Amino acid sequence: METKLNAIEDKRTSGAHISFWTESNPSVLSQPLRKSTKTGVVIIGGGIAGMTIAYTLCKRGIRVVVVEDGFIGSGESGRTTAHLVTSLDDRYYKIEKIFGEKGAKLAADSHMKAIDYIEQIIRDEHIDCDFKRVDGYLFLHPSDKEDSLEKEYQASIRAGVKVEMVNEIPGMLNKERKALKFSNQGEFHIMKYLNGLCAVILRMGGEIFTETHAEKIQENGIVSSEGFAIAADDIVVATNAPITSMYIMPLKQFAYRTYVIGGLIRKGDLPAALWWDTGNHEGHSDIFPYHYIRTAAYNDEYDLLISGGEDHLTGLADANGATEEHRYEKLETWTRQHFPMQEIVYKWSGQVMESMDCLAYIGRSPGEEMNLYIVTGDSGNGMTHGTIAGILIPDLIQGIDNKWKDIYEPDRFKLFKSGKTFLKENVDTLIQYFKTNPKDTDAENLKSLQKGEGIIVKLNKEKYGVYRDDEGLLHWVSAECTHLKCIVKWNNDEKTWDCPCHGSRFSYKGEVMNGPANDALDYHSEEYPDFVEAKHKN
Ligand SMILES: Cc1cc2nc3c(=O)[nH]c(=O)nc-3n(C[C@H](O)[C@H](O)[C@H](O)COP(=O)(O)OP(=O)(O)OC[C@H]3O[C@@H](n4cnc5c(N)ncnc54)[C@H](O)[C@@H]3O)c2cc1C
Ligand code: FES
């Protein structure tokens, strides 16, 4: 599989692989914060959530500053597959069980309105981003129970979602099968959309600072790593995993890695549509890893088939059955069984945050006195959840009543996804990881560390992550995650250090790529550092 790699120094994307979206339409804004300033609302994070919140606030005449420590879309938004759905990742029959019929109706309503809002913004602001209304087909994974489609059909109708039961799925190789057809879903090119939003926000007087890390969040605003302050009345943390909640939010959600391949199909061979299976129910997991597929325009001759899935808990790929790199092969095998596909030209992975109860957490940050708002727990529907935040958070800031407030309240405590096993599953896998984690090695073993690989070593009672780059140079980081000190694990696929406890991720140089951690790992770049030498002398 010859696919495109990102220069791993480049923070336009959070890992070694580059997505189709980021490669075909990279963010061009490069404007770091160079002096302290003052605003109405400061927003941390330039993904779909932060940018939509900024857009709505600007539109309502409120002064806004966005800070983004990479580039616009360089977090998970640039790694998405951009299905815009009312057929949510978690089934309505589950949501109904947790939130009641009224809650499920509100959830469906919010996602419908989110797609409408995206469509309206695109129309009003003339953003050319390949937006289309399409049909989506949900079909049974062989491991799922026969009646699950019927249950979902009934629950979707009760929730007010437009759905019908069909016996044929357009586009699939084995098309004669039962499925739920959800009409009026959507798809778009996320980077074209974000670049469009960016231009509109700047035009309306909003300010956006890229390559600007919000290091400190305080009562009256934020301070960047370079020491520049932004004073604000309200602060929004739209960093995907909040960097402000040390204990509460990391315990209410779990980080999963998910994988994508992009393969060529002859133009017009497949209809524009979305396809999803109901997920593998065989494992002991309550998060059923499922496949999600769409097409996108590629060039004059070909479209791209974009297929995703093969998820696992972050940092625990091996404990969950296959290494990170092996996930693409599994995905390719599955995709070729179900869809026509020629050469694979893209592969990338990304991170989703699974909330305990199927819906995102959007609202005031729990346990905070200050005017601090968060959006997290995307549950695989972050395009629409981020857009819902773009409506709900401005309403909360302005004191406008919003009927979705309670279902998205971050402080809520609902039963786990299926009653009890969700938390147990994650704890069990972590325990398994700590048991099977290879014994720490010593400096001698570094000699066998190949270019492009990473390893944990223990020296003078300290654990270090060591990565050998393509030139053979060693890069050392402290292996203790700066969130709550779990030991990070090397992700050889994206060349990052991933924390299995709550999903923080760091570059090989220790820079934070995903929260909840917000501080870098200590970093040294030395072929033979003093502490190694000292150990050898003893
Ligand atoms: C492979 C994949 C497929 C997906 N498919 C779909 C799909 O089809 N449909 C769907 O609805 N959802 C999908 N999702 C989920 C969705 O893409 C994400 O939930 C969504 O993009 C998250 O947006 P966000 O704005 O919350 O976070 P992000 O896009 O991650 O933005 C957060 C930003 O905050 C910045 N940041 C973090 N800390 C700081 C700091 N201290 N200072 C400054 N900046 C900081 C980061 O650099 C980042 O750019 C998918 C996700 C993945 C990974
Ligand atoms: S993410 Fe919490 S300890 Fe690493």
Measured distance CA(483)–CA(250) in Å, rounded: 10
Pick the more confident residue, 122 or 429.
122
Q: State yes or no: pLDDT of 178 exceeds 70.
A: yes
Average pLDDT (517-527) is 88
CB 248 within 8 A of CB 363: no
Measured distance CA(20)–CA(490) in Å, rounded: 25
Q: State yes or no: pLDDT of 435 exceeds 60.
A: no
CB 301 within 8 A of CB 165: no
Measured distance CA(102)–CA(434) in Å, rounded: 42
Q: State yes or no: pLDDT of 283 exceeds 80.
A: no
Q: Would you state the torsion angle of the CA atoms of residues 233, 239, 244, 249, taken in this order, to the nearest 10 degrees?
A: 120
**467-479 per-position pLDDT tens digit:** 999 998 999 999 9
pLDDT in the model for residue 458: 83
The closest-lying atom of ligand 1 relative to the alpha carbon of residue 376 is: 26
pLDDT in the model for residue 82: 98
Q: Is 255 helix (H, G, I), strand (E, B) or coil?
A: strand
Cβ count within 10 A of residue 133: 13
Average pLDDT (364-371) is 90
Distances (CA, A) of 81 to 76, 152, 307, 529: 10, 23, 8, 42
Measured distance CA(52)–CA(389) in Å, rounded: 8
CB 86 within 8 A of CB 111: yes
pLDDT in the model for residue 408: 97
Q: State yes or no: pLDDT of 438 exceeds 60.
A: no
CB of 481 closer than 6 A to ligand 2?
A: yes
Please report how many Cα atoms fall inside a 13 Å half-sphere around the Cα of residue 81, on the Cβ side. 31
Q: State yes or no: pLDDT of 433 exceeds 80.
A: no
Average pLDDT (325-351) is 96
- Residue of 481, 482, 488, 521 best suited for mutating to test ligand 2, as the one with most atoms within 8 Å of CB: 481
How deeply is 218 buried, as exposed, middle or buried, from its count of CB atoms within 10 A (0-12, 13-18, 19+)?
exposed
CB of 430 closer than 6 A to ligand 2?
A: no
CB 55 within 8 A of CB 249: no
Mean pLDDT, the chain, whole residue set: 90
pLDDT in the model for residue 459: 80
Tell me, in angstroms, the distance from the centre of ligand 2 to residue 460's CA. Answer: 23
Measured distance CA(505)–CA(375) in Å, rounded: 19
Pick the more confident residue, 379 or 436.
379
Domain edges within the chain: 443-537
Q: What is the DSSP code string of 313-350? A: ETT-TTTTTS-TTHHHHHHHHHHHHHS----EEEEEEE
Measured distance CA(313)–CA(486) in Å, rounded: 15
Q: State yes or no: pLDDT of 14 exceeds 80.
A: yes
Measured distance CA(20)–CA(463) in Å, rounded: 36
Pick the more confident residue, 319 or 510.
510
Tell me, in angstroms, the distance from the centre of ligand 2 to residue 247's CA. Answer: 10
Would you place residue 431 in the very low, low, confident or very high pLDDT band (cuts 50, 70, 90)? Answer: low
Q: State yes or no: pLDDT of 527 exceeds 80.
A: no
Measured distance CA(69)–CA(47) in Å, rounded: 11
Q: State yes or no: pLDDT of 155 exceeds 90.
A: yes
pLDDT in the model for residue 4: 61
The contacts of residue 111 (CB under 8 Å, 6+ apart) are 85, 86, 88, 381, 384, 388
Place of tokens 């330039």: 46
Return the CATH fold of 443-537.
Rieske Iron-sulfur Protein (2.102.10)
Q: Whose CA is nearest to atom 1 of ligand 2?
A: 502
Please report how many Cα atoms fall inside a 13 Å half-sphere around the Cα of residue 172, on the Cβ side. 24
Measured distance CA(160)–CA(105) in Å, rounded: 6
CB 224 within 8 A of CB 274: no
Q: What is the DSSP code string of 155-195? A: HHHHHT--EEEES--TT-TT--S-EEEEEEEEE--HHHHHH
Q: List the single range of 16-20, 230-234, 421-425 with lowest mean pLDDT.
A: 421-425
pLDDT in the model for residue 396: 98
Distances (CA, A) of 301 to 121, 265, 268, 279: 30, 9, 9, 33
Would you place residue 189 in the very low, low, confident or very high pLDDT band (cuts 50, 70, 90)? Answer: very high
Average pLDDT (255-271) is 95
Average pLDDT (173-199) is 96
**372-407 per-position pLDDT tens digit:** 999 999 999 999 999 999 999 999 999 999 999 999
CB of 516 closer than 6 A to ligand 2?
A: yes
Q: State yes or no: pLDDT of 300 exceeds 70.
A: yes
Four-residue CA torsion sign, 35, 39, 45, 50: negative
Ligand found nearest the CA of 44? 1
